[in-house]
Amino acid sequence: MLAFHAASVPGRRKRNEDAYFAGRIGRFTAFAVADGMGGHAAGDRASGYAIEQFRETVAGSRIDEAAEAITSRAFAAANDAIYAFNQENRLNAGTTLVTLLVDEDGACVFGNIGDSRATIFSENRTWQTDDHSLVNQMVKNGQILPEEAWMHPQRNILVQALGLAPRITPDLYRHARAGGTVVLSSDGLHDTLRPGRIRTIVSAYSPESAVAALIDECLREGASDNITVIVIRVLS
């Protein structure tokens, strides 16, 4: 059983280019966060297309179709829709997308492209999706230390996003049961608050109160980007 809450705010920006979904679709409880690329035209259109295609793909899936296959099709459909929009309008809109499908047995399948992120905070460990960013590549290649990535001037440069190329390859992750608390977020949250602080907040409050507290703290810390947060509590 799940308890969850979601919210999105523009932060200090005039327009919110994030989009999200949280709710029941058929046999799944489904979640998604998309962050339209602010440096590109029509980022809000791109994130909207991503969420729309995710919802439609999950809703139209077969009863016997694996969550991984559904997630892959959703990412491909989103990429196709945004890429076609760009070609038709001579634009270069792009978006991140991180998703989660939870089936009736509690099995979780995550999908990710870009640097929006899913994080599982369990009692003994923290797990997160792999950011598709230049700085994360630099960390993995040993060029910089993880601590240096936190405020690196190139931390927002992506190496993969939806809508900018004809084909994409999302990361897929399966967890038999997530346990603990799951957070899906755009980088307005996790580029402002460190994982330890996020863990402290989501551990102390209900999902609804945790979402409000996370957003409030980001704003107090001076976050300038759009902030989107979904907090999911896995109940026994």
At 107-149, the pLDDT tens digits run 999 999 999 999 999 988 899 999 987 777 776 777 777 766 6
Rounded Cα distance, 104 and 209, in Å: 26
Give the model's confidence band at 40: pLDDT under 50 very low, under 70 low, under 90 confident, else very high.
low
Rounded Cα distance, 223 and 188, in Å: 7
- How would DSSP label each residue in 107-131? -EEEEEESS-EEEEE-SS-EEEPPP
Per the listing, tokens 């690329």 go with: 37
The 3-state DSSP class for residue 184 equals: strand
Residue-range domains of the chain with CATH? 2-125+161-234 (3.60.40.10)
Length of the chain in residues, anyone? 236
Give the model's confidence band at 39: pLDDT under 50 very low, under 70 low, under 90 confident, else very high.
low
Contact 117, 98 (CB under 8 A): yes
* Both tokens assigned to 60: 């139209």
Residue 66 is which amino acid?
Answer: A
Name which of 99, 107, 98, 229 is nearest 178 in CA terms: 107
Above pLDDT 70, what percent of the chain?
A: 93
pLDDT value at residue 114: 95
Give the model's confidence band at 87: pLDDT under 50 very low, under 70 low, under 90 confident, else very high.
very high
The mean pLDDT of the chain is 91
pLDDT digits (tens, 9 = 90+) for 55-80: 999 999 999 999 999 999 999 999 99
Termini Cα distance of the chain: 7
